[in-house]
């Protein structure tokens, strides 16, 4: 049976088919017509092109083609891929390739488009990093410490305290060593309170079989433990102050707010507690208490500290914040920078700065000093960047945040306003 196009006007010749049909419908045919029909049937007919049979893909993804007998003939790999799926499946693939806005068509890189390189190898590299970290912390590190102790005759704490200078590098190494230790006494050392540091030092020396006469080891370990415990205590103090909401019925809160006004606007009297004048120093409305909801009393304390200890700088920055093109809300930005300092303290990014700055217990004073550095540096950063409008504040704030985090990665970093100001 020869395949034909569907709907074609040609028909395949069937022996006796046409004759029997005519004989049933018309009776006996004329001899002339019968002779003419025989001549046409005997003459060679033009060859018809074979009917194309569409390739079909099964659910398993194997391509096949219907043969003439109705069976399925498998395709080769190339043709199976080329003919895989029907129009609906191809449309879905195009939508996945072109995205939601591609209207079902694949987005091809044109002159103005750059196709991003495929992210290959990221997951394997990340997986191998996790595997290596697990193997090192659980197996290799123990044997490395054991070998170094055989070679030097000193434990890891003795090697760190004897070789590194005072500051962040030494304290961070001690903190990591204690946290990674399998000894319970050493692991608990990073959680001791200030009053327990002396006893903790003696217990560590006893566990590591270090003579109590080694005053250098004892002093250096004592300082490092004070810095570690002091950082945790400082965070708790900052967190507690942040949780205190501003209360307009509290006289101390109100006094600090009025003090902030007097420090920044000494030549202008505040006409009323609730007044539009608060917008002159960068608050959003006529009652500043609504702006302290996120950071609580911590935001107000930071603003007052900067205005009190660096009055000239605070007034200068307030004046610059009223710039007709590059201006910003001074108080609101100050509260926003409080949140930045708080988040850096919370995630441990301020450890290097505070360990270098204080050889003992970090205090709230040191946190306020870091805040003053942020305010001063952000004002310079804002005017150097020259943003188009205040609507881009979040973008430039994040850029400034990344800059500060990069500086804090240096183990020798100390970020203070005294080092920033130039004569």
323 vs 316, 327, 390, CA distance in Å?
12, 4, 11
Task: Give the per-residue pLDDT at 417.
Answer: 84
Q: For residue 376, give the nearest of 330, 322, 327, 324 by alpha carbon.
A: 330
Write down the pLDDT at residue 43.
Answer: 54
Packed helices 364-385 and 311-320: angle between N→C axes, nearest 10 degrees: 30
Long-range contacts of 21-25 (CB under 8 A, 24+ apart): none
Query: According to the model, what pLDDT value does residue 155 have?
Result: 76
pTM score: 0.67
Quote the CA–CA distance of 96 and 102 in Å, as a whole number: 9
Q: Count the neighbouring beta carbons within 10 Å of the beta carbon of residue 281.
A: 23
Cα-Cα-Cα-Cα dihedral sign, residues 115, 77, 73, 3: positive
Instruction: Classify 215 as helix, strand or coil.
Output: helix
- State both tokens at 45: 């007919």
Check if the beta carbon of residue 66 is closer than 8 Å to that of residue 53: yes
Q: Given this model, what pLDDT does residue 180 score?
A: 85
Determine contact, residues 404/344, Cβ cutoff 8 Å: yes
Q: Which of 176, 218, 178 is nearest to 199 (CA)?
A: 218
Q: Would you state the pLDDT for residue 410?
A: 94
Cα(258)–Cα(274) distance, rounded to whole angstroms?
11
One DSSP character per residue, 49-104 reads PPPPPPEEE-TTS-EEEE-TTS-EEEPPHHHHHHT-S-HHHHHHHHHHHH-GGGTT
- Residues lower than pLDDT 70 in the chain: 1-123, 126, 130, 132-150, 152-153, 163, 418-423
Per-residue model confidence as pLDDT tens digits over 376-409? 999 999 999 999 989 999 999 999 999 999 999 9
The answer to whether 270 and 253 have CB atoms below 8 angstroms apart is: no
The partner residues of 319 in beta bridges, in order of sequence, read: none
> How far is it, in rounded angstroms, from Cα 174 to Cα 190?
9
Q: CA geometry: angle at 21 spanning 18 and 27, to 5°?
A: 120
**316 within 8 A of 272, measured Cβ to Cβ:** no
pLDDT of residue 120: 56
pLDDT digits (tens, 9 = 90+) for 108-160: 444 444 445 555 556 677 677 767 565 656 556 565 666 655 676 677 788 87
Which among 190, 353, 13 has a CA at the least distance from the CA of 21?
A: 13
């Amino acid at each position: 049976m020869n395949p034909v196009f569907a709907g074609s006007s040609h028909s395949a010749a069937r022996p006796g088919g046409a004759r029997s049909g005519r004989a049933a419908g018309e009776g006996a045919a004329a001899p002339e017509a019968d002779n003419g029909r025989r001549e046409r049937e005997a003459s060679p007919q033009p060859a018809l092109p074979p009917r194309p049979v569409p390739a079909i893909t099964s659910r398993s993804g194997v391509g096949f083609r219907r043969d003439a007998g109705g069976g399925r003939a498998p395709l080769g790999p190339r043709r199976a891929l080329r003919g895989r799926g029907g129009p609906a499946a191809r449309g879905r693939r195009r939508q996945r390739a072109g995205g939601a806005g591609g209207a079902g068509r694949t987005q091809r890189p044109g002159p103005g488009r750059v196709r991003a390189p495929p992210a290959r190898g990221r997951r394997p590299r990340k997986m191998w990093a996790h595997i290596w970290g697990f193997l090192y912390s659980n197996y290799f590190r123990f044997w490395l410490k054991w070998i170094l102790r055989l070679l030097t005759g000193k434990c890891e704490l003795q090697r760190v305290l004897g070789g590194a200078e005072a500051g962040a590098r030494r304290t961070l190494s001690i903190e990591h060593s204690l946290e990674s230790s399998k000894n319970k006494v050493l692991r608990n050392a990073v959680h001791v309170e200030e009053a327990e540091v002396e006893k903790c030092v003696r217990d560590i020396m006893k566990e590591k079989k270090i003579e109590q006469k080694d005053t250098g080891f004892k002093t250096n370990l004592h300082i490092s433990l004070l810095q570690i415990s002091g950082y945790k205590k400082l965070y708790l103090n900052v967190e507690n102050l942040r949780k205190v909401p501003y209360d307009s019925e509290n006289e101390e809160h109100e006094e600090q707010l009025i003090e902030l006004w007097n420090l920044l606007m000494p030549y202008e009297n505040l006409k009323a507690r609730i007044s539009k004048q608060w917008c002159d120093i960068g608050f959003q409305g006529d009652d500043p208490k609504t702006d302290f909801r996120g950071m609580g009393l911590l935001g107000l304390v930071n603003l007052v500290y900067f205005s009190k200890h660096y009055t000239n700088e605070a007034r200068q920055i307030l004046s610059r914040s009223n710039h007709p093109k590059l201006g910003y809300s001074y108080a609101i930005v100050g509260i926003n920078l409080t949140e930045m300092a708080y988040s850096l303290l919370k995630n441990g990014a301020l450890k290097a700065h505070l360990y270098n700055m204080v050889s003992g217990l970090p205090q709230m004073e040191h946190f306020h000093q870091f805040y003053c550095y942020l305010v001063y540096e952000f004002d310079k950063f804002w005017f150097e960047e020259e943003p188009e409008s205040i609507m881009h504040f979040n973008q430039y704030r994040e850029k400034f945040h990344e800059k500060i985090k990069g500086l804090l990665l240096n183990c020798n970093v100390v970020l203070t306003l005294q080092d920033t100001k130039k004569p």
